[in-house]
Amino acid sequence: MENFFKCTLDFKFPTDEIDQAVLKEKDGNSDEEEEKGTPKFVPDPRFIDFDELDHFNYRPKPIKKAIKKSKNIPDVFKSIKIPIDDSDIYFCDLTEFPNIVYSEEEALKLYNNKGLFYNVQFKILSRRQSDKGEILSFTLGCVHANDGTTDQNKPKFIQNIEKCSEEKENSNPNCKVRAVFKWKSSCNYYERASKMYMHHCHPLEEDKIKYGRNGREEIMSWIEIYLQADMEWVLIQNVINKKFNTDFKYSEIYYMIQKIRNQQKLLPENKSESLELLARLKKMCEESPEARFVHEMTSDGKKIKNILIQTPQMHRLYERYSDVIFMDGTYMTNKYKMPLVIFSSINNEGKNVIVGFAIVERETKETYQWLLQSMKVMNEGKEPGVILTDFDAAMCHGIEKVFEKSEHLLCQWHMMQNFKRHFKFLKSKRSAEANQLHKMVIGLIFTESFEEFEQFLHYIFSSSLIDETKKQYLRKLVQIKQKWAAHACAWVFNGGTHTTSRIESVNARIKDKLWSKSTLSDCLDRMLEIEQQVKDNILCKEKKLNEREHVIHHPLIKHIYDQYSNFAFEKMLFEYSLCHEYFVKKLSEEKGDKQVTKYVVKDKSLRQNNIVTVLKAPMNKTKFLCNCRFNCSNNMYCSHIFSVMNLEQVKSLEGIVPLHRWTKKQEWQNYKHIDRIMDGEKPHKECLDEHGHHNHDHPDNNGQA
């Protein structure tokens, strides 16, 4: 013990005063401490760091008081720490353990294997997760430490039982040895924090390794080898306990053996769940050539790292409805905690349809770039017309790199939540100016007037209530205002929505049957089930509409009802009810290859003018276009177009270019074919003669069939 408190300093200190002060403070407690086995040696307080003496059985308070009373001890020597010997029975040097890991399971396995030399075992005490479910940091601690779970969530009678059992057995001394690992996003690994506690409150004895349900892969692989050698199950239990330093019961070994046998029944050739999913997908591709999937495996080749799947129906839906795609990721859908990324769209009936889904390891820039590039290759290089997402940095980076021709829009609801979170301090000030500023910040998203947007910006940047960091955050978002601001967004077809509410409903429907213990095959089964439900609902609704007879006397409305889906018919019927409130005036007319006629439609109530353009192609096909938001975002006839139709006495849709996006029998290839004709381009398909046969002499065929 004397060697334990040696110091290399050669100075002489007045120890007599300190020893007398210590003895005076300890005069009433010395006999009791000797009976308890306390060492009679009292260390010199000038070389003691009291935080390192938790494992000694004496009270440090009188020593601290002795230091305060002693006037002859310099302050420099009060902070000198005791040199701790690494051979102490309470000490475990964690600096020799790995400081970089890639997952919780890897850290637990490495530390338990390394801890066998020190007679120490570890467990996961706590973890900190982000809003998206990503593990930002976790803590490894001694197996004798408390788990850190809040007893408030447990019933009181359970708390009392646990408390009595701990006091009776005293089996959990709450050891404070622990190491914290933090996620480094720039390096894609967990790094151990420099601050660690390495002194146990109990002697280091050999502990049995306790494997959880998710940490038995290596053990099960050895059990599988022993089963192939026809080893008895009791002998397998003894060998496993000796090999891995565990104390598995026979029932636990029996459970693992039954699990291995069930996997072998499902797949006689492949024993892993990932290979089972790949086998199902390969069989699906053999049955239908329209099925597609792309995957990446881990370095060991046993687990799926990233996978993108398109069933035959998803591939057909992407070909038809890729003009608008919604993309979002959801969590807690499988036992591997892998995010599920969904691609969805809107069909001609206005229903949400899934056009692809992916299961990825992590939501990084590289992952999304691989995912979108694979989606592009699987669909012969076809890019979405508009892709709508939330404000995810990794997702936005992948879209800009891969989908260069697509129009990328950000969800206005998510942008509003971001603004509320960054500028919530304005609501707490409770002043008229602060409330007005808060309304202006939110108004930046939804105002459709450029002048009003500029006024809001000028007022916000000139205000003294907002600091420079918030203004800099707002400046960065203004640079991409064409993605989220209503006045700056391009008027393109987006299904009539600028939020991700449609795909959020799809996520809710998927998670209704999936949970945190679902397998990858369960995810595929849920997607196929949703596909069938959407198909059945559409067929059932169409059957009911066919059975019901509608009496429509207006010839134009009757043509719209017969040609377009019920979803589009209801929207256009409402627009037709508004067309009688406008004043229409013919503006100009141009003749040439295309006859272009423009009309001005005035709205007296809103004091707003809209221009309707009527194009007449050489093939006697007429096309109506309007510069209003409804016509651009929904690709349907608006009230302004109906007012022009009434002026021109249009009673039928014959000779008018149909809106193939919303027809009952939608033909996507014809839609693109007619668009090329309206733009003056030559069709790519063969021209047919009046009898429906190939016309080899037609100039557009160039003599080819």
**pLDDT tens readout for residues 445-497:** 999 999 999 999 999 999 999 999 999 999 999 999 999 999 999 889 999 99
| Other C-beta atoms lying within 10 Å of the C-beta of residue 129 | 13
pLDDT, tens digit, 9 for 90 and up, residues 406-416: 999 999 999 99
- Kindly report the three-state secondary structure assignment for every residue of 609-663: EEEEEEEECCCCCEEEEECCHHHHHHCCCCHHHHHHHHHCCCCCCCCECCCHHHE
Query: In this predicted structure, what is the pLDDT of residue 78?
Result: 42
pLDDT at 68 over 50: no
Tokens of 193: 């924090």
555-565, pLDDT tens digit by residue? 999 999 989 98
Where helices occur in 365-467 by DSSP H, the ranges are 365-378, 393-402, 412-422, 425-429, 432-446, 450-461
**Which helix (H) or strand (E) is 135 found in, with range?**
strand 135-142
Phi and psi at 694, nearest 5°, equal -65, 130
Q: How many CB atoms lie within 10 A of CB 149?
A: 10
Give yes or no for a contact between 200 and 92, defined as CB atoms under 8 angstroms apart. Answer: yes
Among 398, 396, 354, residue whose Cα is nearest residue 376: 398
Provide the pLDDT for residue 206. Answer: 52
Q: In this predicted structure, which of 333-337, 358-362, 573-577 has the lowest mean pLDDT? A: 333-337
Which pLDDT value is given to residue 637? Answer: 93
pLDDT for the residue 322: 93
What is the reported pLDDT for 204? 65
Over residues 260-296, the pLDDT tens digits come to: 876 665 433 334 788 888 999 999 999 998 999 999 9
Residue 198 to residue 204: CA distance in whole angstroms: 12
pLDDT of residue 294: 94
Q: Name the region of 245 (left: φ>0; alpha: ψ -120 to 50; beta: rest).
A: left
Query: How far, in Å, CA of 47 to CA of 426, rounded?
Result: 54
Q: What is the pLDDT of residue 185?
A: 85
Tell me the range of 122-131, 185-194, 247-256, 344-353 where mean pLDDT is highest: 344-353
* Helical ranges in 170-308 per DSSP H: 217-228, 233-244, 250-266, 273-287
Rg (CA), the chain: 37
| Cross-strand partners of 123 | 141
CA distances from 462 to 126, 438, 457, 465 (A): 46, 14, 8, 9
CA dist list (Å): 671 to 493, 559, 632, 676, 677: 15, 19, 17, 9, 10
Q: How confident is the model at residue 314 (pLDDT cuts 50, 70, 90)?
A: very high
Reported as a single tens digit per residue, the pLDDT across 599-640 is 999 887 777 788 888 888 766 688 899 989 899 999 999 999
pLDDT-derived band of residue 103, with 50, 70 and 90 as boundaries? confident
C-alpha to C-alpha distance for 144 and 107, rounded to whole angstroms: 18
Longest CA–CA separation in the chain, Å: 123
Q: What is the mean pLDDT of residues 128-135?
A: 82
Name the residue ranges covered by the structural domains of the chain.
3-79, 96-192, 227-266, 273-409+499-532, 414-483, 555-666
If one compares 124 and 90, the residue with the highest pLDDT of the two is 124
191-234 pLDDT tens trace: 998 878 777 776 665 555 555 544 577 788 888 888 888 788 88
- Residue among 616, 610, 651, 650 nearest 632 (CA): 610
pTM of the model: 0.58
Task: Point out the least confidently predicted range of 99-113, 539-553, 579-593.
Answer: 539-553
171 has a pLDDT exceeding 60:
no
Spatial strand order of the sheet with 622-626 comes to: 582-590, 595-603, 608-616, 622-626
Q: Please identify, in words, the CATH class of the domain defined by 273-409+499-532.
A: alpha beta
Q: Count of alpha carbons within 13 Å of 491, Cβ hemisphere only?
A: 11
Cross-strand partners of 410: 389
- Return the structure tokens found at 186: 């720039």
| Alpha-helical regions (H) of 447-549 | 450-461, 468-478, 501-511, 520-547
Residue pLDDT, tens place only, 504-539: 999 999 988 888 778 888 899 999 999 888 888 877
Would you tell me how many other CB atoms lie within 10 Å of the CB of residue 373? 16
The pLDDT assigned to 480 comes to: 93
| 141, pLDDT greater than 80 | yes
- Alpha-carbon 88 to chain mean position: 47
Nearest in space to 425 (alpha carbons), one of 438, 441, 413: 438
Amino acid (1-letter code) at residue 561: Y
Assess whether pLDDT exceeds 90 at residue 143.
Answer: no
- pLDDT over 90 at 387, yes or no: yes
Report the percentage of the chain scoring pLDDT > 90. Answer: 33
CB 174 within 8 A of CB 145: yes
The two three-digit tokens of residue 553, written as one number: 């006397």
The residue written with tokens 């949400």 in the block is 352
Alpha-carbon torsion angle 653, 657, 662, 663, nearest 10: 60
Would you tell me how many other CB atoms lie within 10 Å of the CB of residue 100? Answer: 13
Place of tokens 């160039």: 702
User: Of 156-160, 181-185, 325-329, which has the strongest mean pLDDT?
Assistant: 325-329
Secondary-structure percent of the chain, ordered helix, strand, coil, rounded to 5: 45, 15, 40
Q: Whole-angstrom Cα distance, residue 629 to residue 491?
A: 7
Contact between 183 and 135 (Cβ < 8 Å):
yes
Angle at 338 (CA atoms; ends 335, 340), nearest 5 degrees: 110
